[in-house]
Structure 1
Amino acid sequence: MVTIESIRAARAQLAGIVRCTPLDYSTTFSRISGNELYLKLENLQKTGSFKVRGAYNKIASLTPEEKAHGVVAASAGNHAQGVAFSSAQAGIECTIVMPEGAPLSKAQATESYGAKVIRHGQSFDEALAHAYVVQQETGATFLHPFDDERIMEGQGTIGLEILEQLPDVDAIFCPIGGGGLIAGMAAAVKAIRPDVKIYGVQAAACAGMHASRSAGVVTPVTSTGTIADGIAVKKPGTLTFALVQQYVDDIFLVEDIEISRTMLYLLERSKLLVEGSGASALAPLLYKRVPFTGKKIAVILSGGNVDITFMSRIIEHGLIESGRYVRFFTTIQDKPGYLNRLLSILAEERANVIAINHNRISPRIVPGQAEVELSLETNNQAHITRIEQRLAREGYQVSPFI
């Protein structure tokens, strides 16, 4: 049973192993949300996420015989690294089953701790099913990523830290996948401060806990895929669901576009690299999905293990969405001075040319013409509209604005 005493015992077990991560006040996000926002920076935790808390607490509880047979786990990445790190600390063998689409950076980091990584299935749930097969074949102890009391107790230590760092906190926002983090954290916080509101956040594309809460029983959902891969759990845990029903006040859903924009905001405004699952907890506050203002709120940024190549796509997409990057085609006469005239107009409109492609061969033009593809750095959507209108007045046919 997860109790405040068992969570405090977990904290003592984790002393010297995990970091007490900062709780950082954000002026920018407080202004945007209308609340006082404090960011719990678990993206700065060892292994890059909160998962090491529960993993180490669980492995520390194993008997010598269980340790001798090693451990096996299923994870999209963060639990894997937590288990691998903790196994290395304990000197035991570790096998991790990851979905085929798990970020390469997470797989490589897991292997760097000495774990054996097996890729299987297209989702976490398929990887989880295969991990049970591996357990039966090897006799290893299975470490569930969330539906385990020792795991929840380890994650719950975050709640103790938040209450010490911000004693007068009004509410805590926490991402939800299978529910281990929010279940343990809520159990800790509500035992000490039952008046503190606990809010979960899920990606709308894979909202298993939200659906289960609405149905009153654990209910699996289908998923259309989400950039928040760390919380893309179709079926929440039985143990976690019971604690969520008992302690969590509400669950908010956010769209992937809101998560990606939040990731970009965190990188640009706070200089924090946060993965989609971690950024999801902040998204409903920035996009006015919560029915209150003026509250003192802690937001758990649960991890920062995002693949850099994927982050580059997030940045580009975010720049397009915010009107700070645009790409378009137009046609000019293939004669001296015509390209210069086009570029002069863009310069007058204060657009920065990032790339230009001048093409004389295209099915969209006739001989004597050239097609020009331009990528521009712009200020916002209003700036793009002004450029588009200016080019139209100057006689350019521009299509499409991307």
Structure 2
Amino acid sequence: MDQQLDEIAAPPAQAALTAEDVRAAAERISGKVIHTPTLYSRTLSKIVGAEVWLKFENLQFTAAYKERGALNKLLTLPAEAKTRGVIAASAGNHAQGLAYHAGRLGIPVTIVMPRSTPIVKVQQTRGHGAEVVLEGDSFDEAYAHAREIEKARGLIFVHPFDDREVMAGQGTVGLEMLEDAPELDTIIVPVGGGGLISGVAVAAKSVKPDIRVVGVQSSQYPAMYLLKRSEPVAGGGDTIAEGIAVKEPGMLTRAAVLEHVDEMRIVSETRIEEAISLLLDIEKTVVEGAGAVGLAALLPAKNGAYRPEFVGRKIGVILTGGNIDPRFLANVILRNLARSGRIGRIAVLLDDKVGELSKLAGLFTRNGANIIEVSHQRIFGVLSAKSTETEIEYEIRDKDALEGLLLDLDEAGYAYEVMTISGRRPGRSLRGRH
């Protein structure tokens, strides 16, 4: 997944992207990338209070939309440039898309990745026939090294987003959406450097001038959101949406966004996690963090209220990619189960006597809670040698069932704390009983 670009060398002067550019790209790449489905989601529509269609770009061969722009760029290169080869700096979807299509076309390709790039991504990129150069401790250092190699070898640098042909290729997503679901009145697009939303906005408005195009970013990397508000660019930090973790958007893309995009929004990390889990649970589809931010922007407020600006609208949401580490995905799923109350952990203070754990387990059984794991702690933080702190991890039907369990614990006189993602929530005083 593409990391942030702290400093971006401005590309050669290029004319503004046009709808004709996107249509030409669509004809050029037709049959060489998957025309992914745009499908109506009855369940998600009910959840968010709008009519929702999903564009499954995570079903591309490389599991991301990035190969559209990469392929269009490669196909527009002159023959001599194709012989010399291309180069890019990327640790993710751009690398995969460029390497795959360059390999398929017989074009030499070099990808520069930071030394910290997971080995699986390095192997996947090499598997497409790319020469992989590991250089630098950060993406910025890898990017700088790629530009040095570009000059030294006379290669063509393929920018992940700030390139007219790349933007045009990405814009074909918008044309396909309106071909498959012409009733759409809103398209929601994840935004990092801005290549996708630039192409989609230009293409969509050429077909349907009154369509609303909304961009979404992680609150950790809100660069385009701030630019749209005429505020200084800022941001950076850990985010689940690594694929759109861009500190500084492109020059071509920012111009396109300012002209053609109706609104920019930001979403929290928690909301992105919820969207990933919902898509897996409801649509049975795996989406990475960057690919889930569009749905995250639609989710109801914490009090359950619909987003009034989206209620009743016909909305297309682009699921931009599905490249997420399985272990990381498992963690997201478990965290969301904990957040919803379906799994949890309770620390209970017990007398260290025979039968006490059995009595406690009976309360869990009575409330339909399945005990997953039990651990004891008799030393640290326990005030009496005759007591033990017992942590019980459980799964339960829902929050209502959990409230029944907590009520039983209170009535039985137990001191306990409910352990949550954000910390511990006391029931009775766990530390003051003995």
TM-score relative to the length of structure 1: 0.93
Contact kept, 8 Å, 2:298 with 2:310, in 1: the verdict is no
Q: How does 1:125-204 map to 2 (within 5 A)?
A: 125-204=140-219
1:264 and 2:281 aligned: no
User: How far apart are residue 93 of structure 1 and its match?
Assistant: 2.4
Contact kept, 8 Å, 1:78 with 1:106, in 2: the verdict is no
Question: Which residue pairs with 1:73 in the alignment?
Answer: 88
Contact kept, 8 Å, 1:277 with 1:302, in 2: the verdict is yes
Residue 236 of structure 1 is aligned with which of 249, 261, 265? 249
Q: Which moved more, 1:71-80 or 1:167-176?
A: 71-80
Q: Secondary structure at the match of 1:16?
A: coil
User: How far apart are residue 261 of structure 1 and its match?
Assistant: 0.6
Kindly provide the amino acid, as one letter, of the partner of residue 253 in structure 1. Answer: I
The verdict on how the C-alpha distance between 1:289 and 1:206 changes in structure 2, with shifts beyond 3 A counting, is farther
Q: How does 1:266-305 map to 2 (within 5 A)?
A: 266-287=279-300, 288-289=306-307, 291-305=309-323
Contact kept, 8 Å, 1:355 with 1:374, in 2: the verdict is yes
How far, CA to CA, are the matches of 1:212 and 1:121 in structure 2? 29
1:23 and 2:41 aligned: no
User: How far apart are residue 132 of structure 1 and its match?
Assistant: 1.6
Question: Which residue pairs with 1:116 in the alignment?
Answer: 131
How far, CA to CA, are the matches of 2:313 and 2:36 in structure 1? 22
The verdict on how the C-alpha distance between 1:314 and 1:104 changes in structure 2, with shifts beyond 3 A counting, is farther
Question: Which residue pairs with 2:392 in the alignment?
Answer: 374
Q: Secondary structure at the match of 1:29?
A: helix
Deviation by residue 1:43-62 (Cα, 9 ceiling, x = unmatched): 11120000000001111112
The verdict on how the C-alpha distance between 1:105 and 1:278 changes in structure 2, with shifts beyond 3 A counting, is farther
Contact kept, 8 Å, 1:120 with 1:130, in 2: the verdict is yes
How far, CA to CA, are the matches of 1:381 and 1:120 in structure 2? 49
How far, CA to CA, are the matches of 1:321 and 1:331 in structure 2? 24
Contact kept, 8 Å, 2:89 with 2:143, in 1: the verdict is yes
Kindly provide the amino acid, as one letter, of the partner of residue 10 in structure 1. Answer: A
How far, CA to CA, are the matches of 2:263 and 2:117 in structure 1? 29
Deviation by residue 1:334-389 (Cα, 9 ceiling, x = unmatched): 33322111111110011111112245565526444443221011233343333223
Kindly provide the amino acid, as one letter, of the partner of residue 214 in structure 1. Answer: R
User: How far apart are residue 183 of structure 1 and its match?
Assistant: 0.5
Kindly provide the amino acid, as one letter, of the partner of residue 327 in structure 2. Answer: T
How far, CA to CA, are the matches of 1:121 and 1:271 in structure 2? 38
How far, CA to CA, are the matches of 1:260 and 1:143 in structure 2? 31
Q: Secondary structure at the match of 2:246?
A: coil
Residue 235 of structure 2 is aligned with which of 216, 219, 222? 222
Q: Which has the higher helix share?
A: 1
The verdict on how the C-alpha distance between 1:166 and 1:64 changes in structure 2, with shifts beyond 3 A counting, is same
Q: Which moved more, 1:353-362 or 1:159-168?
A: 353-362
Kindly provide the amino acid, as one letter, of the partner of residue 210 in structure 2. Answer: D
Q: Which moved more, 1:33-42 or 1:95-104?
A: 95-104
Q: Secondary structure at the match of 1:328?
A: strand
Q: Secondary structure at the match of 1:299?
A: strand
Which residues of structure 1 form unaligned runs of 5+? none
Contact kept, 8 Å, 1:30 with 1:36, in 2: the verdict is yes
Q: Secondary structure at the match of 1:48?
A: coil
The verdict on how the C-alpha distance between 1:45 and 1:153 changes in structure 2, with shifts beyond 3 A counting, is same
1:54 and 2:69 aligned: yes
Contact kept, 8 Å, 1:124 with 1:232, in 2: the verdict is no
How far, CA to CA, are the matches of 1:360 and 1:204 in structure 2? 42
Question: Which residue pairs with 1:43 in the alignment?
Answer: 58
How far, CA to CA, are the matches of 1:210 and 1:126 in structure 2? 26
Question: Which residue pairs with 2:423 in the alignment?
Answer: none
Contact kept, 8 Å, 2:368 with 2:397, in 1: the verdict is no
How far, CA to CA, are the matches of 2:333 and 2:415 in structure 1? 29
How far, CA to CA, are the matches of 2:76 and 2:315 in structure 1? 33
Question: Which residue pairs with 2:431 in the alignment?
Answer: none
Contact kept, 8 Å, 2:48 with 2:307, in 1: the verdict is no
Deviation by residue 1:177-229 (Cα, 9 ceiling, x = unmatched): 0010010111111112111111111111101111122228xx54231221100
How far, CA to CA, are the matches of 2:366 and 2:19 in structure 1? 64
Residue 374 of structure 2 is aligned with which of 352, 356, 378? 356
Kindly provide the amino acid, as one letter, of the partner of residue 45 in structure 1. Answer: Q
Kindly provide the amino acid, as one letter, of the partner of residue 60 in structure 2. Answer: Q
User: How far apart are residue 24 of structure 1 and its match?
Assistant: 1.0
Q: Which moved more, 1:380-389 or 1:178-187?
A: 380-389
Contact kept, 8 Å, 1:73 with 1:80, in 2: the verdict is yes
Contact kept, 8 Å, 2:193 with 2:244, in 1: the verdict is yes
Contact kept, 8 Å, 1:106 with 1:305, in 2: the verdict is no
Kindly provide the amino acid, as one letter, of the partner of residue 75 in structure 1. Answer: S
User: How far apart are residue 169 of structure 1 and its match?
Assistant: 1.2
1:89 and 2:113 aligned: no
Matched length: 400
How far, CA to CA, are the matches of 1:132 and 1:221 in structure 2? 25
Question: Which residue pairs with 2:332 in the alignment?
Answer: 314
Q: Which moved more, 1:286-295 or 1:164-173?
A: 286-295
Deviation by residue 1:224-260 (Cα, 9 ceiling, x = unmatched): 2211000011111111111111111101111111001
Contact kept, 8 Å, 1:325 with 1:375, in 2: the verdict is yes
